[in-house]
Amino acid sequence: MLFRARKNQTSYGEAIEETGELDSDKIRAEIVESAKEFVRGHQGICSILSECSMMPPYSTAIQAATNLPVYDFVAMINHTHSAIKAKQYPTLSKGNSLNG
Smallest CA-to-CA distance from 32 within 58, 67, 3 is with 58
Q: Where are the alpha helices (DSSP H) in the chain?
A: 10-17, 24-41, 59-66, 73-84
Separation CA 76–CA 49 (nearest Å)? 10
Sequence ranges of the domains in the chain: 2-84
pTM over 0.75: no
Per-residue pLDDT of the chain (100 residues; tens, 9 = 90+): 455 555 555 665 556 556 667 788 888 998 898 889 889 988 888 999 888 778 899 999 999 999 999 999 899 899 999 999 988 888 766 666 566 5
Calpha distance 44→51 (Å, rounded): 20
| Strands of the sheet with 70-71, listed across from one edge | 2-3, 48-50, 70-71
Distance (Å, whole) CA 55 – CA 35: 11
